[in-house]
Amino acid sequence: MIDVVVYEDLACNSIWFNHCRNLGIDAIVRAKNNNNNSLRLARKTVNKTEAVEVWEVEKGFEKVEVYESTFTMDNVEQPLRFVKFALKHKNKLRTQIMIVTTCMDMARKTLFKIIRARWDIENSIFNN
């Protein structure tokens, strides 16, 4: 009944990804500052590449640049997908969203919408 699970950075580890894969469920996990060496290397690699997509005037943003790579996380047999969304807000503020996912073929815009919706839900819960 569940195809994809979306979770916060606490689950950005090999145990969670292996568990989801064993259940046949894809995982999309927000990545933040993580002590995982393979994740740090993936982030460093992506930071040295050119954007694979640029979306002009995305809802609420002036521009979204998308960077992507695949990497192998320690203690996870299959490769994972690392995607970084660099956001330029209309007020010129810059932020980024980084995710790690087992969804190798999902469209980048779909990944972006999913992770943004998760953030909106979390903010609504904590603020209300």
Q: What is the per-residue DSSP string for the chain?
A: --SEEEE-GGG-SHHHHHHHHHHT-EEEEEE-S---HHHHHHHHHHHTS--SEEEES-TTEEEEEEEEEEE--TT-SS-EEEEEEEEEETTS-EEEEEEEES-SSS-HHHHHHHHHHHHHHHHHHHH-
Q: Read off the CATH number of the domain in which 116 is found.
A: 3.90.350.10
What pTM was computed for the model?
A: 0.87
d(C-alpha 100, C-alpha 74), whole Å: 13
Can you give the residue range of the structural domain that contains 35?
Answer: 4-127
pLDDT value of residue 73? 92
CA–centroid distance for 104 within its chain: 12
Q: For the segment 79-114, what is each residue's pLDDT rounded down to a tens digit?
A: 999 999 999 988 889 999 999 999 999 999 999 999
User: Is the distance from CB of 111 to CB of 83 less than 8 angstroms?
Assistant: yes
Give me the number of domains the chain comprises. Answer: 1
Amino acid identity, position 90: K
pLDDT value of residue 36? 78
Task: For the chain, give the percent of residues with pLDDT over 90.
Answer: 55
Q: For the segment 31-61, what is each residue's pLDDT rounded down to a tens digit?
A: 987 667 888 888 899 989 999 999 987 777 8
pLDDT value of residue 9? 83
